[in-house]
Structure 1
Amino acid sequence: MTPAINSLKRAKQAYRILEYHHDANAGAYGIEAATKLSLDPSLVFKTLVAKLDNEKLVVAIIPVAEKLNMKLLAKAAGVKKAAMASAQEVERSTGYVLGGVSPLGQKRPLATFIDISAESLEQIYVSGGKRGLDIELTPASLQQLTKANFTPLTV
């Protein structure tokens, strides 16, 4: 079990685990998950960690086929500037490796923002805390567990 799954169990939230064989040569982890699990990419969300004003780390959850708009993230967080965090910062802060970063069960809870596109969906899929493992849950459950805000994050 991963910390993400353990956090869902503790919170008594409904979820479903989906597993696939991860290809070590895969470049885009989220697209790989959508393809191997035969899911619509608009339902599969990736977890990104960004740095605000060169200090505070935050989580942005967006569809795997989309690109995070840093200006929109900065606006949502109420700061001037956002940039992607380094791999080292991501792994140290979340406790997960790149390609397996889950928004759930992170070592240090971070302010979290979920792209507005998720809000109207019945189910979404996020990383389960390791490569080759995804979790199906409702956007409302994800919002509640991460104390996230739904906001536009992609263009």
Structure 2
Amino acid sequence: MMTPATKFLDKNGISYNTYKYECDAKSDFGHMAATKLGRDQNEVFKTLLIHHEKTYVTAVIPVNCNLNLKRAAKLAGLKNAEMVKPADAERLTGYVCGGISPFGQKKRTLTLVSDRALSLAEMLVSGGQRGFSVGLPPDVLINALEARTGDITDDQ
């Protein structure tokens, strides 16, 4: 499947696994991905966008966690942060909600990755379309996006 995310990965010589599944959810896309792919929810990550004024940041966290805005803002070097509205996230990334990938976004932003990814052999993130995920080692994702890692999540 060719998406801006897979084009980014291919262009940068990054190998990845692809996972397709039937997506019939209207929300909570990450939990559906984990369920349909038979993966632990700690291995499947959602892509969220936060901002402070005109500074936008991408946060990649496990689907079974909530983003801690205060700690994410601190890691990003922002005074504080709030969630980006779905329509704005779609406009900024070029993806639809439920299919927002950290790779190949229209506007490149600082990326934060939950330190919960660091112990995994493979983490799954959206491949740029609902029902399509890509899997790769966390350190490969972190290096490809020059991401910062830290404790940015709370349990649900």
Report TM bin, short chain. Answer: over 0.9
Match of 2:104 in 1: 105
| Identity across the alignment (%) | 41
SS at match of 1:43: coil
- Structure 2 CA distance for aligned equivalents of residues 149 and 127 of structure 1: 19
Shift of 1:10: 1.0
Q: Structure 1: state its 5+ residue gaps.
A: none
TM-score, length basis structure 2: 0.95
Match of 1:9 in 2: 10
Shift of 1:55: 2.1
Q: Structure 2: state its 5+ residue gaps.
A: none
SS at match of 1:92: helix
Q: Which amino acid aligns with 2:140?
A: S
RMSD: 0.9
**Is the aligned partner of 1:72 residue 2:75?**
no
Match of 1:37 in 2: 37
- Structure 2 CA distance for aligned equivalents of residues 80 and 9 of structure 1: 36
- Structure 2 CA distance for aligned equivalents of residues 79 and 108 of structure 1: 18
Shift of 1:58: 0.4
Assess if the C-alpha contact under 8 Å between 2:27 and 2:98 holds in 1.
no
Q: Give the number of the structure whose residues are more often strand, by fraction.
A: 2
Q: Which amino acid aligns with 1:130?
A: Q
Shift of 1:112: 0.4
Q: Which amino acid aligns with 1:18?
A: Y
